[in-house]
Amino acid sequence: MSQKILQCNNVCFSYHSLTGETHALTDISFNVHKGEFISIVGPSGCGKSTLLSLIAGLNTPESGEIILENPAETKIGYMLQQDHLLEWRTIYSNVLLGPEINNSLSKEKEELALRLLKDYGLYRFKDKKPAELSGGMKQRAALIRTMMMQPDLLLLDEPFSALDYQTRLMVSADIGHIIRQSGISTILVTHDLSEAISLSDRIIVLTKRPATIKKEIPVSLTILNDDPLAARNAPEFQKYFSILWKEVSDEYSTANQ
Amino acid sequence: MNTPQQINNNNISTAQQLYMKRHKQHHHFVTLMRLLVLISFLILWEVAAQMKWIDPFFFSSPSNVFTYFISMLVDGSFFKHTGITLFETLVSFMLITVISLVFSVLLWYSKTFADIIEPYLVVLNSLPKSALAPLIIVWLGTGTDTIIVAGISVAVFGSIINLYTGFKEANQEKIKLITTLGGNRFVALKKVVLPSSIPMIISNMKVNIGLALVGVIIGEFLAARKGLGYLIIYGSQVFQLNMVITSIIILCIIAMGLYQAIHFLEHWYLKHK
């Protein structure tokens, strides 16, 4: 495997409120390599999103450490569950929000934005407001906004969960494809097991709260191209699905006891 | 986007035409009835005064008001008094808007500051502001300053509280988005909180313009030698009820005009956003 880009060592995190403390993560350790696509699955509310916001630096772990191998040169892109496009801006100016915020707005950035809009089939809609776009298009616009940061590590927090099923398949295939081509390392949080199998190189299963790593499952599917839709028909798909389902459903049944 | 207005006129179905017609009829009927209410009130008032059902010395009459209004136009007192009241109201309104925006942004920016200040704001907001007027007169004397401060004092505390509450309701996830793109709280304010609060800020302005007028009139009652509030209080003291009622009617028209001005601003914003 190629070089490491991120290391999580024994990361612990709790939420505090006046009514008490909620342990979200205990002793999470894993690595991400360059160009690798990792999915994190686990019961709902187990702290998957928390892990992403720790990696993104929005929160600091209570103990343990999160190390970027090359902090100066590793840019992190974070895509949230909803598109959160600002409804008073056009798609084009939404996409340019990142460069606008860190004062890096330049001719090249504008060209990059136009190129990405073309690549992702949104060029025609660049002067429209978000309300005029479908859910799938908005999600793609949100991806462009993230990609404008030219990230080396992409964090995806259930980015497809707000979409209906068909759109979800299409958009996840699209986005999977785009990410593969760009060679960006990715961590995807999802509760859709098929999505995890079809997109990932490795799947990390978390236990119920306080989450620890239950199992790491490397995925290799025999398909000709990186098409996530074709991946669902790969002969190994069912096998992975059964393994994952067993791991995850164990967590649900113990959670309900 | 295909909005219904853009459908070609030739293609309107009969059902749609009927609906449009009914809508128009209802609209005309309402306008007509509104005018009728006003006209019957004026006629009843005039007749009652002419027939001595009411004493025109105390209750005036539409014709007296009209005559008095003409005399005000002729001697220029209309422009002097209305102008000063309008000026004071607009200055108070602008200062209220600026002060409450600045303060509510500070409160939003620092939760600790907001927690410290909150009880004082609540007390100042519930205090009847007319109780402050004599104090302001002692401090600032009788003049335009006093009246503008009186106008501000009526609206500013409530306005700060409302704006702050509105800012707090800005979408937290959108603020998180700004953080993921590398922006700090100030950037979140500029890019998310303020733009998403514009409709709320405008409706807050609608309330403030009315309250500013209330404060200015209270101020003029107590500490002025000109303005509509002064005319009302002076007229009542010398039993010039024509003067009082004419001033009140002018005040009604000003209040309506100012409200409509903000209303137009709102429409303009909704059209151009």
Q: Which of B171, B178, B179, B180 should be substituted to probe chain A, the one whose Cβ sees the most A Cβ atoms within 10 Å?
A: B180
Look at chain B and report how many structural domains it folds into. 2
Whether B180 is in a domain gets the answer: yes
Residue by residue, DSSP assigns A158-198 as STTTTS-HHHHHHHHHHHHHHHHHHT-EEEEE-S-HHHHHH
Q: What is the DSSP letter of A211?
A: B
ipTM: 0.82
* Amino acid present at B116: I
User: Is the pLDDT at B2 greater than 70, yes or no?
Assistant: no
Residue A251 confidence (pLDDT): 77
Separation between Cα atoms, residue A151 and residue A103, nearest integer Å: 16
Binary contact (B177, A84; C-beta < 8 A): yes
Residue B223 confidence (pLDDT): 86
Separation between Cα atoms, residue B75 and residue B237, nearest integer Å: 21
* Total beta-carbon pairs less than 8 A apart between chain A and chain B: 41
Mark whether B129 and B150 lie in a shared domain. Answer: yes
Binary contact (A101, B1; C-beta < 8 A): no
Integer CA distances (angstroms), A59 to A53, A192, B189, B258, in order: 6, 26, 20, 48
B28, B54, B80 - which closes a domain: B54
* Amino acid present at B37: V
Mark whether B43 and B130 lie in a shared domain. Answer: no
Binary contact (A101, B173; C-beta < 8 A): no
CATH code at B181? 1.10.3720.10
Whether B59 is in a domain gets the answer: no
Whether B223 is in a domain gets the answer: yes
Whether B148 is in a domain gets the answer: yes
Mark whether B259 and B131 lie in a shared domain. Answer: yes
Those residues with Cβ within 8 angstroms of residue B109's Cβ, 6 or more apart along the chain or in another chain: B185, B186, B189
- Average of per-residue pLDDT across B41-49: 95
A157 - beta bridge partners? A189
Q: Is B187 on the interface with A (CB under 8 A)?
A: yes
Cα distance from B5 to chain A (closest Cα, Å)? 17
Closest to B158 (Cα-Cα) out of B203, B195, B194, B116: B203
Residue B210 confidence (pLDDT): 94
**What confidence tens digit (pLDDT) does each residue in B10-25 have?**
677 888 889 999 999 9
The position carrying tokens 């343990």 is A64
Query: CA quadruple B185, B191, B192, B195: dihedral positive or negative?
Result: positive
Mark whether B94 and B218 lie in a shared domain. Answer: yes
What does chain A come to in residues? 257
Binary contact (B178, A58; C-beta < 8 A): no
Of B173, B174, B181, the CB nearest to A101: B181
Mark whether B153 and B46 lie in a shared domain. Answer: no
Q: Which domain holds residue B240?
A: 65-272
User: Is the pLDDT at B71 greater than 90, yes or no?
Assistant: yes
Of the pLDDT bands very low, low, confident and very high (cuts 50, 70, 90), residue B3 is: very low
Whether B207 is in a domain gets the answer: yes
Residue B4 confidence (pLDDT): 47
Q: Cite the residue boundaries of each domain of chain A with CATH code 3.40.50.300.
A: 4-75+152-256
Separation between Cα atoms, residue A13 and residue A201, nearest integer Å: 26
- HSE at residue A184, side-chain half, CA atoms within 13 A, is 25
Mark whether B161 and B31 lie in a shared domain. Answer: no
Q: For residue B193, give the chain A residue with the closest CA.
A: A86
Do residues A41 and A61 make contact, with C-beta atoms less than 8 angstroms apart? no
Three-class DSSP category at A75: coil
Residue A255 confidence (pLDDT): 56
Residue A47 confidence (pLDDT): 83
Helix or strand (DSSP H, E) at A125: none
Instruction: Say yes or no: domain A4-75+152-256 is CATH 1.20.1050.10.
Output: no
Mark whether B245 and B145 lie in a shared domain. Answer: yes
Cα distance from B195 to chain A (closest Cα, Å)? 8
Of A80, A97, A98, the CB nearest to B173: A80
Mark whether B44 and B148 lie in a shared domain. Answer: no
Binary contact (A101, B179; C-beta < 8 A): no
Separation between Cα atoms, residue A242 and residue B214, nearest integer Å: 73
Lowest-pLDDT choice from A239-248, B113-122, B149-158, B214-223: A239-248
- Average of per-residue pLDDT across B238-260: 93
pTM of the shown model:
0.82
What does chain B come to in residues? 273
Binary contact (B1, A132; C-beta < 8 A): yes
* Amino acid present at A140: R
Residue A110 confidence (pLDDT): 92
Mark whether B163 and B262 lie in a shared domain. Answer: yes
Lowest-pLDDT choice from A216-230, B127-141, B211-225: A216-230
Mark whether B155 and B47 lie in a shared domain. Answer: no
- Residue, of B231 and A48, whose pLDDT is higher: B231
Integer CA distances (angstroms), B13 to B10, B16, B17, in order: 9, 5, 6
Binary contact (B1, A97; C-beta < 8 A): no
Mark whether B12 and B133 lie in a shared domain. Answer: no
Q: Is A150 on the interface with B (CB under 8 A)?
A: no
Residue B193 confidence (pLDDT): 94
Residue B113 confidence (pLDDT): 95
Q: For residue A99, give the chain B residue with the closest CA.
A: B181
Whether B60 is in a domain gets the answer: no
Mark whether B193 and B259 lie in a shared domain. Answer: yes
Peptide bond into A210 cis (omega under 30): yes
Lowest-pLDDT choice from A238-252, B30-44, B136-150, B218-232: A238-252
Residue B165 confidence (pLDDT): 95
Separation between Cα atoms, residue A205 and residue A250, nearest integer Å: 11
Q: For residue B180, give the chain A residue with the closest CA.
A: A78
Cα distance from A124 to chain B (closest Cα, Å)? 13
Residue A239 confidence (pLDDT): 87
Number of neighbours of residue A250 by Cβ within 10 angstroms: 16
Q: Is A84 on the interface with B (CB under 8 A)?
A: yes
Q: Is B173 on the interface with A (CB under 8 A)?
A: yes
- Average of per-residue pLDDT across B253-257: 94
Q: Is A67 on the interface with B (CB under 8 A)?
A: no
Q: For residue A154, give the chain B residue with the closest CA.
A: B180
Q: What does the pLDDT profile of chain A (257 residues) look like in tens digits?
A: 468 888 888 999 988 888 888 888 888 899 999 889 999 998 877 788 889 999 988 888 998 889 888 877 788 899 888 889 999 999 999 999 999 998 888 899 999 999 989 888 889 999 999 999 988 889 889 989 998 988 889 999 988 877 788 878 887 887 788 788 888 899 999 888 888 888 888 999 988 888 888 888 888 877 656 666 777 778 788 888 888 888 888 877 765 55
Q: What is the mean pLDDT of chain B?
A: 91
Residue B1 confidence (pLDDT): 43
User: Is the pLDDT at B188 greater than 90, yes or no?
Assistant: yes
Q: Is A88 on the interface with B (CB under 8 A)?
A: yes
Cβ contacts of B178 on chain A, cutoff 8 Å: 101
A6 - beta bridge partners? A32, A68
Both tokens assigned to A121 = 């089939």
Residue A45 confidence (pLDDT): 76
